[in-house]
Amino acid sequence: MKMGTALIYDEEMTKYKLLWVDPVCKIEVPERLIVSYEALVKSGLADRCVSIPVREATDAEILLAHSEEYLEAVKKTPFMHLEELMTFTQKYGDVYFHPNIYHCAKLAVGATLQLVDNVMTGKVRNGMALVRPPGHHSQSSAANGFCVFNNVAIAAQYAKKHHKAKRVLIVDWDVHHGQGVQYCFEDDPSVLYFSWHRYEHQSFWPNLKESDFDSVGSGKGAGFNVNVPWNKVGMGNSDYLAVFFHVLLPVAYEFSPDLVFICAGFDSAIGDPEGHMSATPDIFAHLTHLLMNLADGKVCAVLEGGYNLTSLAQSVCQTVQTLLGDPAPRPAQLGGACESALESIHSARSIHKKYWSCLQHAAAPFPEEPSSKNRRPAQQGGSQGPEGDAGGDAQREEEKVEEKEEEEIVWPEPLRRVAPSLRSALLLPDAVECPDGCARFSPAHGPGPLERARLRKSYLKESEDEASVTLLYNLTALLGQMEKNEIRNGLALVPDVSMAATLLTSASLSKRVLLVWMGEGPVPSQIIEDEKTLVVHINSMEPHEAQSKYYIPIPLKKGCGDTAGVMQAVLGLLLPLGYQYEPGLVLLARLPGYQVEGGLWQQLTCLLQGLALGHTLVLLQENETAPVGITASCLLGNAALSLGPLVAPGPEDVGSFERLRLRLQTDWPLLQTTAPEKR
């Protein structure tokens, strides 16, 4: 599987700036690129990337998304003097021209196309283009919002035309609506455009009705435009993750793109003068991670906005570090989405219910009460945990800050994300070959007699041979090295998965262990009773025992082999639970006889690595060596195989999901998808 992350940047794109007074445009400065690139160099990340040179886009490439008259008009700007540039600029909104901006705009497009070429031909797995001017606001015949040519829209057309891409996903996490991209693919079912954006009931720029959640695309493109408007400022990490888990990811997996673009604007990060949001830079590490198992990992991140030079640089580094495969950071205390975000999530899910089978259980669209549109939702109570108050507290905070105006918003610098020297250690019987890239685990020293006796007494029947004792000891040794961050993740082939899981959950030093139990066998009661272990059990059995807060069986009629069902469970239940629980260790136990298609097992193994700093320990049944290779590939950081378009999950499963979600969301608010009063 291809590895390698491309970084495309050229300082030529810093060589244009605002030449007159314009309070709207003054934030779009060359320093945006300079501080971002310097941060990548200083952190050592730039050196770990494959540096790809930029090039100028050709006319033909620019015409993939722009009219000839617009291109011809822009071509004249290098020869204009100041007054002519100002007059030319007046024709468009919230943008400025400069004698060198046409050159830079061609380089920004060319850089993006270079990224696409290298990803689509497999020279690298993914990458980032650090470009300006940005692109997502520019339209066929108009510059807008600091944008001249629509870098990502052109690149998506280019990927379809020159690389035979069939389905392209564009995730626009910039805080502004990329209306230019929406217009370009309005009726195109081969390009799924997702955007969240500050909206405030159309009172925020660009103040468009078509930025609301009910713009779903038109004609054959209906359903392939997903807008999530933020109707309040102060949205935080929980709000962003909730939108990914409950809106974007289910639809993206059903769509199954063969290429993913990120309109990577970082004005959605805390401290930004435009966004006024509260999400911290490390959240972009998780958002990137959650997209990296789509399209066999082919992800092209392209810089859009981002106007706070500190959070911009930090967020760019968080994104690139994840593209490089480094362990995800520990997410800040997550609560549930705030009430306003839940309303937006609910609106987007219900309007798209008829286009996406993964949303079929979303509640029906509410009849439009005339007042509801401009009714500002009441400040929600403090019921949703610290982050869950984002809309409330931050809103109040926001007003306070606005009064003081000058108060500088500060946030903690993201923690260093240290990759252990050894990535994947496998505990395998000697007869089983160790896949390339992994290390066969052997402990520094064997168990002493006391250790043997203790293990035998606690976990083995007298009859068990010495080999079993050694295996148990080696398991605890492997766990120990993981929890000391000397090893990132591991896999063990064991004679008895239940016993191994029991040993590991009790031996773990982590305050919280997430155990994902895949298959039909019962979870040992000792584990269920263990308060520090959250067990999520995906199986085909009917929900029988009364679930505790820490034992969550997810029944699938067709069992664990049901790709659509399992992905629904993973995206809409397991991951929100896992992120909220914030475990120090993730155990993934595959029970004997668990028949599952390789890609699905890989998706699970990869997605779970976003938790617990990547400390994932996979337990497989000794005599089932088939999954060793595909599991090891994912533990090494390769992307999971694409699943292909997903079919609808079984209707009976959908019902039990919703009942489960409704029952659990009081304890686990990140499971919420609708605002309280609407339940």
Which amino acid is residue 154, in one-letter code?
I
Rounded CA-CA distance 264/174 in Å is 6
- By C-beta, is 314 or 510 nearer to ligand SS9? 314
Instruction: Write the CB contacts of 481 (distance below 8 Å, at least 6 apart in sequence).
Output: 425, 487
Can residue 176 be called a binding residue for ligand SS9 (CB under 6 A)? yes
State the binding partner of 205 from Zn ion, ligand SS9, none, CB within 5 to 8 A by kind: ligand SS9
- For Zn ion, the closer of residues 176 and 661 by Cβ is 176
Separation in Å, CA 213 to CA 225, 347, 365, 445, 563: 9, 7, 11, 60, 29
Residues 133 and 108: beta-carbon distance below 8 Å:
yes
Beginning with the edge strand found earlier in the chain, give each strand of the sheet holding 168-172 in spatial order.
Answer: 50-51, 5-8, 126-129, 299-303, 259-264, 168-172, 191-198, 225-230
Q: Binding-site residue total for Zn ion (CB under 5 A)?
A: 5
Binding mask 129-168 for Zn ion (x = CB under 5 A): ----------------------------------------
| Residue 282 contact among ligand SS9, Zn ion, none, beta carbon within 5 to 8 Å by kind | none
Exactly one of 135, 223, 250, 305 binds Zn ion (CB under 5 A); which one? 305
Least Å distance between CB 55 and ligand SS9? 24
The CB-of-653 to ligand SS9 minimum distance in angstroms stands at: 40
CA 471, 476, 477, 482 dihedral sign is positive
Nearest of 639, 560, 579 to residue 605 by alpha carbon: 639
What order of strands is seen across the sheet that includes strand 533-539? 439-440, 422-427, 487-494, 616-621, 585-590, 513-518, 533-539, 551-555
Say which amino acid occupies 469. V
Residue type (1 letter), 392 = G
206 vs 627, which CB is nearer to ligand SS9?
A: 206
> Distance between CA atoms of 629 and 112, rounded to whole angstroms?
34
For the question of residue 176 being annotated catalytic, the response is no
135 binds ligand SS9 (CB under 6 A): no
Whole-angstrom CA distances from 593 to 497, 553, 632 are: 12, 18, 19
Taking CB within 5 to 8 Å according to partner kind, which of ligand SS9, Zn ion, none is near residue 392?
none
Mask for 516-555, x = binds ligand SS9 (CB under 6 A):
----------------------------------------
Residue 483: CA atoms inside 13 Å, Cβ hemisphere, count? 20
- Residues 169-188 binding Zn ion (CB under 5 A) are 174, 176
- The reply to whether 265 sits near ligand SS9 by the rule CB under 6 A is yes
- Nearest-CB residue for ligand SS9: 305
Which amino acid does the sequence have at 490? G
The span of 119-127, 300-308, 325-333, 555-563 binding Zn ion (CB under 5 A) equals 300-308
Minimum CB distance to ligand SS9 smaller for 134 or for 519: 134
134 contacts which partner out of Zn ion, ligand SS9, none, CB within 5 to 8 A by kind? ligand SS9
Is 204 or 657 the residue whose CB approaches Zn ion more closely? 204
Beta strands 225-230 and 259-264, pairing class: unpaired
254 or 274: CB nearest ligand SS9: 274
User: With binding defined as CB under 6 A, does residue 94 bind ligand SS9?
Assistant: yes
229 binds ligand SS9 (CB under 6 A): no
Least distance to Zn ion, CB of residue 307, Å: 8
Strands, E assignment, 111-165: 126-129
Among 94, 117, 186, 267, interactor with Zn ion by CB under 5 A? 267
Instruction: Tell me: does residue 265 bind Zn ion (CB under 5 A).
Output: yes
Q: Per DSSP, which regions of 477-584 are E strands?
A: 487-494, 513-518, 533-539, 551-555
In one-letter notation, the amino acid at residue 253 is: Y
* Closer by beta carbon to ligand SS9, 95 or else 295: 95
Q: Among residue numbers 179 through 218, which ones bind ligand SS9 (CB under 6 A)?
A: 205
Q: What is the DSSP string of 464-501?
A: --HHHHHHHHHHHHHHHHHHTTSEEEEEEEES-HHHHH
Residue tagged active-site, from 66, 137, 177, 276: 137
Residue pair 564/647 in contact by the 8 Å Cβ criterion: yes
Task: Report if residue 174 touches ligand SS9, rule: CB under 6 A.
Answer: yes
Kindly tell me the number of DSSP H helices and DSSP E strands found in the chain: 25, 16
172 binds ligand SS9 (CB under 6 A): no
Q: Which of 4, 135, 145, 275 binds ligand SS9 (CB under 6 A)?
A: 145
Q: In the structure encoding, which two tokens stand for residue 547, read together?
A: 């679930």
Q: Which of residues 7-26 bind ligand SS9 (CB under 6 A)?
A: 24
Q: Does 274 bind ligand SS9 (CB under 6 A)?
A: yes
Q: How many Å apart are CA 45 and CA 37, to the nearest integer?
A: 10
Residues in 299-328 at the binding interface with ligand SS9, rule: CB under 6 A: 304-305
Query: Least Å distance between CB 263 and Zn ion?
Result: 9
174 or 282: CB nearest ligand SS9: 174
Q: Which residues contact 172 (CB under 8 A, 6 or more apart)?
A: 136, 178, 181, 193, 194, 195, 196, 197, 262, 263, 265, 304
Number of chain positions touching ligand SS9 (CB under 6 A): 14
Interacting residues with Zn ion (CB under 5 A)? 174, 176, 265, 267, 305
Q: Which are the catalytic amino acids? A: 137
**Binding interface with ligand SS9 (CB under 6 A):** 24, 94, 134, 137, 145-146, 174, 176, 205, 265, 267, 274, 304-305
